[in-house]
């Protein structure tokens, strides 16, 4: 039998009773909205039918009619039979007591016996259908609980509201071993659980909730969101079995929260009292009805023009140059401050990197080179080198460098071969040489050669004539694989920071020298300064005269001149300053012209209006003039497109590699 969205109606109850006439247990299937709360469904079924729910799986229910259950028709017959018996027992007693036949005659004032009518009334009451109850109303009444508000929270000063990664990890590990504090089987109306969690948080910082299995229409995600809104806590973890909540750093106990709320209410009441006193005091003063006289010329264009004509500064050429020079000095000073700030930050990072590197290198204890290493002849070295380069098996040495795993692999190679070939990539030959010497010292072998190959550098090491495999092929004085990687990262970081700091220091020194030179340079010295700049570049005549006695210097690119990029930036800044000077002069001319026109408008009569406005229209630029200005801007920007960016680099790197019979010096 199916119970649909209407719930347990009278028709459903009658159907259940009809089935109970022939069987003791009725199987029911709940569908629709009533299936949301099966516990409430049990109560409604037991109350309306009088049965007992003995089994449930999901939305399926088995309803038992009970041991003392009687069919309604049999129960009605029993009641009628009992009524007849009572009337039979009472009839002889009445006949014994009535001796006079006249007493048997009914009197108009005496009411007749009402046995049959009372029995019919009882039967009507027993067979009267129960009032229809809607399931939705019953569910809503049951789930309405006390309104739960999130607890009052205040974050202490200087404390981060969010949890760090390490803190969250430690709390999750702590919650794994804790037993659950609550068991949850529904996803709605969790106010009671929220209140219980708030009380628990006064003793424990973590609340662990177990989710019941087999409960339909429950979602852990929805439960977690509702509890987070109701309690204000932090969700640490969520899965199909448990929910773990952290109370938060801003959680307060009930006593502390009540004290703070009381202080807040007291402060608000004091503010209300002060506001009432202020309103009473302000009501004593009569508002002035006098309206202040408005000045006719205040804030108008005429007042501004008069003040500008009387006290305004007119820029001359000397003042323009001074302003531009001060702006350039200020820009350089700002750049210097910014670079100094970056330099201090980089130095702090370098100090931190050096501390981390020293901490890692404490575990590194490199072995000393043997006092009398085993030597091989030139012929043996030549043959070993030739065989080693032709070997297909090799060891690849990466960014970790020489660590315990490298030496272990060398000994494993020497188990089957006399030679081991190690390939590594490096920036220069000195770095490869240091690695080769370290490999020879740590392994106890003989270094044969170091050669440049297509994959990088090849290091050939011979195990020796009297080679014996050590008891521990992984030395304890070297770094492990993880620490070697950490050491290489710190070395790379330190190298990058050193280069960055040197570049910043060079920039700062250069900007400071430019600022000092700009301060010491007066108006007369500008020409001398630029003459010295021009004299530093050779002319065509000087090139022809000095061709015969020319000697190429060691560095053909001088360091005291600007680079290509900076020279381009300097030319752009010069053109920008020149354009600004022209723009300022044009603006001044326009201002003077407009002032004269305004004065002329004040003294103009009515006849000269048309001529005057014709001259005004001719003085403003038209659309054709705007197009001309745009074309000029494009031509101005196009001056940099013709720069030669294909300059070849004249510096070449020359790398010399050892010959076949070259020996490495110790």
Same domain, 395 and 433: yes
pLDDT, tens digit, 9 for 90 and up, residues 512-549: 888 787 777 654 455 555 555 455 444 544 444 444 45
CA distance 374 to 461: 12
- Give residue 186's pLDDT band: very low, low, confident or very high (50, 70, 90): confident
Is 202 a domain residue? yes
Q: Of 256, 285, 300, which residue constitutes the final position of a domain?
A: 256
Is 22 a domain residue? yes
Same domain, 461 and 431: yes
Query: What is the residue range of 217's domain?
Result: 165-256
Cβ-in-10-Å burial (0-12, 13-18, 19+) of 356 comes to middle
Q: What is the pLDDT of residue 388?
A: 92
pLDDT: is 233 or 301 the higher one? 233
Same domain, 384 and 473: yes
Same domain, 125 and 170: no
Confidence check: pLDDT of 637 > 70: no
Same domain, 124 and 189: no
350 touches 498 (CB < 8 A): yes
Is 228 a domain residue? yes
* Number of structural domains the chain divides into: 3
Phi, psi of 29 (to 5 degrees): -125, 120
Which residues in 220-297 belong to E strands, given as ranges?
Answer: 234-238, 242-246
Q: What is the CATH number of the domain that holds 455?
A: 3.30.110.60
pTM above 0.85, yes or no: no
Confidence check: pLDDT of 470 > 80: yes
Same domain, 190 and 54: no
Phi-psi region of 569 (alpha: psi -120 to 50; beta: other; left: phi over 0): alpha
Q: What is the pLDDT of residue 512?
A: 82
Q: What is the pLDDT of residue 67?
A: 77
Same domain, 132 and 24: yes
pLDDT mean over 390-412:
91
Same domain, 138 and 201: no
Structure tokens at 373: 């290493």
pLDDT mean over 92-105:
40
- Give residue 159's pLDDT band: very low, low, confident or very high (50, 70, 90): confident
pLDDT mean over 12-38:
89
pLDDT, the chain, mean: 76
Same domain, 182 and 139: no
Number of H helices, E strands in the chain: 20, 12
Confidence check: pLDDT of 616 > 60: no
Q: What is the pLDDT of residue 531?
A: 55
* Cβ atoms within 10 Å, residue 384: 19
484 touches 408 (CB < 8 A): no
* Nearest Cα residue to 456 out of 496, 491, 426: 426
Confidence check: pLDDT of 299 > 60: yes
Angstrom distances, CA of residue 407 to CA of 369, 444, 472, 666? 15, 10, 10, 20
**Which segment of 79-93, 279-293, 427-441 scores lowest on mean pLDDT?**
79-93
Neighbouring-strand partners of residue 419: 462
CA distance 327 to 343: 24
pLDDT mean over 160-166:
88
CA distance 189 to 192: 8
pLDDT: is 475 or 80 the higher one? 475
Tokens 């020879």 belong to which residue? 440
Determine the Cα angle at 431 with ends 345 and 465, to 5°.
Answer: 145
Same domain, 400 and 472: yes
pLDDT: is 306 or 100 the higher one? 306
Is 446 a domain residue? yes
- The radius of gyration computed from the CA coordinates of the chain, to the nearest angstrom, equals 51
Q: What is the pLDDT of residue 325?
A: 79
Same domain, 185 and 69: no
- Give residue 136's pLDDT band: very low, low, confident or very high (50, 70, 90): very low
Same domain, 203 and 139: no
Confidence check: pLDDT of 153 > 60: yes
- Give residue 368's pLDDT band: very low, low, confident or very high (50, 70, 90): confident
Confidence check: pLDDT of 630 > 60: no
Q: Of 256, 272, 307, which residue constitutes the final position of a domain?
A: 256
Confidence check: pLDDT of 188 > 90: no
Phi, psi of 208 (to 5 degrees): -110, 125
418 touches 385 (CB < 8 A): no
Is 29 a domain residue? yes
Q: Of 219, 234, 256, which residue constitutes the final position of a domain?
A: 256
- Give residue 55's pLDDT band: very low, low, confident or very high (50, 70, 90): confident
pLDDT: is 129 or 599 the higher one? 599
545 in helix, strand or coil?
Answer: helix
Is 59 a domain residue? yes
pLDDT: is 460 or 535 the higher one? 460
CA distance 37 to 44: 11
Is 288 a domain residue? no
pLDDT: is 459 or 324 the higher one? 459
Is 463 a domain residue? yes
Q: What is the pLDDT of residue 447?
A: 92
């Amino acid at each position: 039998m199916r119970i649909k969205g209407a719930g347990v109606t009278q028709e459903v109850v009658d159907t259940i009773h009809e089935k109970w006439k022939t069987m003791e247990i009725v199987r029911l299937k709940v569908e629709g909205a009533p299936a949301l709360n099966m516990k409430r469904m049990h109560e409604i079924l037991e109350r309306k039918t009088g049965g007992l729910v003995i089994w449930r799986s999901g939305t399926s229910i088995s309803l038992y009619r009970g041991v003392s259950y009687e069919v309604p028709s049999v129960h009605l017959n029993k009641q009628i039979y009992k009524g007849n018996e009572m009337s039979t027992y009472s009839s002889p007693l009445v006949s014994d007591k009535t001796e006079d036949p006249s007493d048997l005659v009914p009197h108009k004032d005496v009411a007749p016996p009402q046995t049959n009518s009372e029995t019919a009334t009882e039967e009507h009451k027993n067979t009267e259908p129960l009032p229809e109850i809607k399931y939705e109303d019953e569910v809503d009444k049951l789930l309405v609980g006390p309104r739960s508000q999130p607890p009052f929270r205040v974050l202490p000063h200087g404390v981060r509201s969010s949890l760090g990664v390490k803190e969250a990890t430690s709390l999750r590990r702590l919650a794994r071993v804790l037993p659950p504090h609550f068991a949850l089987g529904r996803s709605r109306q969790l106010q009671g659980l929220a209140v219980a969690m708030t009380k628990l948080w006064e003793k424990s910082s973590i609340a662990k909730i177990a989710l019941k299995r087999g409960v339909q229409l429950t979602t852990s995600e929805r439960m977690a969101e509702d509890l987070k809104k109701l309690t204000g806590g932090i969700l640490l973890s969520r899965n199909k079995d448990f929910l773990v909540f952290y109370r938060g750093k801003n959680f307060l106990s009930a006593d502390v929260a009540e004290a703070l709320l009381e202080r807040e209410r007291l402060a608000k009441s004091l503010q209300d009292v002060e506001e009432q006193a202020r309103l009473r005091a302000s009501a004593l003063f009569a508002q002035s009805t006098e309206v202040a006289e408005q000045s006719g010329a205040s804030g108008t264009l005429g007042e501004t023009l008069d003040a500008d004509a009387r006290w305004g500064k007119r820029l001359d050429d000397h003042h323009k140059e001074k302003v531009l020079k001060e702006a350039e000095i200020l820009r350089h000073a700002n750049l210097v401050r910014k670079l100094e700030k970056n330099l201090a930050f980089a130095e702090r990072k370098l100090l931190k990197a050096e501390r981390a590197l020293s901490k890692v290198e404490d575990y590194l204890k490199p072995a000393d080179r043997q006092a009398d290493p085993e030597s091989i002849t030139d012929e043996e070295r030549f043959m070993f080198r030739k065989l080693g380069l032709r070997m297909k098996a090799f060891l690849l040495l990466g960014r970790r460098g020489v660590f315990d795993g490298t030496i272990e692999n060398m000994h494993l190679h020497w188990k089957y071969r006399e030679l081991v070939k190690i390939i590594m990539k490096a920036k220069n030959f000195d770095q490869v040489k240091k690695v080769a010497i370290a490999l020879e010292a740590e392994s106890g072998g003989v270094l044969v050669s170091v050669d440049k190959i297509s994959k990088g550098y090849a290091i050939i090491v011979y195990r020796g004539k009297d080679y014996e495999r050590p008891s521990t092929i992984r030395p304890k004085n070297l770094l492990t694989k993880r620490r070697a990687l950490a050491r290489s990262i710190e070395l790379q970081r330190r190298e990058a920071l050193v280069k960055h700091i040197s570049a910043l220091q060079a920039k700062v020194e250069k900007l400071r020298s430019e600022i000092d030179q700009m301060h010491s340079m007066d108006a007369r010295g500008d020409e001398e300064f630029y003459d010295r700049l021009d004299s530093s570049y050779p002319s065509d005549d000087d090139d022809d005269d000095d061709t015969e006695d020319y000697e190429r210097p060691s560095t053909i690119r001088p360091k005291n001149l600007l680079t290509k990029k900076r020279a381009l930036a300097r030319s752009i800044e010069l053109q920008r300053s020149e354009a600004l000077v022209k723009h300022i002069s044009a603006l001044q001319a326009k201002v003077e012209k407009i002032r004269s026109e305004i004065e002329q408008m004040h003294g103009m009569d009515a006849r000269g209006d048309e001529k005057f406005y014709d001259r005004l229209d001719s003085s403003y630029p038209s659309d054709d003039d705007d197009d001309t200005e745009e074309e000029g801007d494009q031509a101005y920007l196009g001056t940099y497109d013709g720069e030669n960016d294909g300059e070849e680099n004249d510096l070449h790197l020359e790398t010399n590699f050892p010959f076949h019979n070259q020996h490495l010096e110790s």
